[in-house]
Chain A
Amino acid sequence: NAGVTQTPKFRVLKTGQSMTLLCAQDMNHEYMYWYRQDPGMGLRLIHYSVGEGTTAKGEVPDGYNVSRLKKQNFLLGLESAAPSQTSVYFCASSTGSGVTDTQYFGPGTRLTVL
């Protein structure tokens, strides 16, 4: 049982390049989330999904797209990377969306955009 895994762990991009971050979970969770972590700001929600085939915007969605084609996978895409997207990206999943549900986090992807 690997929990939540993220690929890749590190990436360096040039401005304007594109990339996709992959999140996979093996806990059969319905809900999945993408966050970014910046110094002094905690984690902020980018996009989330309430089930296979559904996605929704979070707090800071601009410049990102997501897809949830399979229940266990949640992809985060950057179509044209900008230096402001340099951050650590975390994926999370949970069984439900209720206020008592625990989110389980992956190990993170450190992205640098030059």
Chain B
Amino acid sequence: AQSVTQLDSHVSVSEGTPVLLRCNYSSSYSPSLFWYVQHPNKGLQLLLKYTSAATLVKGINGFEAEFKKSETSFHLTKPSAHMSDAAEYFCVVSGTYKYIFGTGTRLKVLA
């Protein structure tokens, strides 16, 4: 069975400082992992995905995530936050026929 835990429900950063959104997963087999972003009153947009190729995955808008099997983690990072990054972020582990979503992390970016 698969599950995913987002360790922070809310994260606040100042504009221009690094972003770290934490995600741990559990999977009985080699997982595929995704990060999606949801801006207010919008749908979900794929940021990046890991599918057992390179462990460091680069996504859109300067985001990247590193798959660490030993730590069962897939944390999302960005070197420098922008005001437009304020949104809710979901970590997802993929099972057959369905996604298993984390509960989300709301990122606030302070001017």
Binding site for B on A (CB under 8 A): 4, 31, 33, 40-45, 48, 50, 56, 58-59, 90, 97-108
Q: Which residues of B contact A107 (CB under 8 A)?
A: 42-43
Given contact pairs A99-B95, A99-B96, A43 touches B34 in the complex (Cβ within 8 A):
no
Given contact pairs A40-B103, A107-B43, A99 touches B94 in the complex (Cβ within 8 A):
yes
- Contact call A99/B90, Cβ cutoff below 8 A: no
- Contact call B90/A97, Cβ cutoff below 8 A: no
- Contact call A48/B98, Cβ cutoff below 8 A: yes
Complex Cα gap A50–B97 (Å): 8
Complex Cα gap A44–B32 (Å): 18
Interface of A is mostly: loop
Cβ contact of B96, chosen from A40, A98, A106, cutoff 8 A: A98
Binding site for A on B (CB under 8 A): 9, 31-32, 34, 36, 42-46, 49, 51-52, 90, 94-99, 101-104
- For A110, the closest partner residue in chain B by CB is B41
Complex Cα gap A107–B34 (Å): 19
Q: Quote the shortest CB–CB distance from B25 to chain A (angstroms).
A: 12
- Contact call B94/A33, Cβ cutoff below 8 A: no
- Contact call B99/A103, Cβ cutoff below 8 A: yes
Q: Quote the shortest CB–CB distance from B57 to chain A (angstroms).
A: 13
Q: Which residues of A contact B102 (CB under 8 A)?
A: 42
Complex Cα gap A99–B90 (Å): 17
Q: Which residues of A contact B32 (CB under 8 A)?
A: 99-100
Q: Which residues of B contact A102 (CB under 8 A)?
A: 34, 46, 49
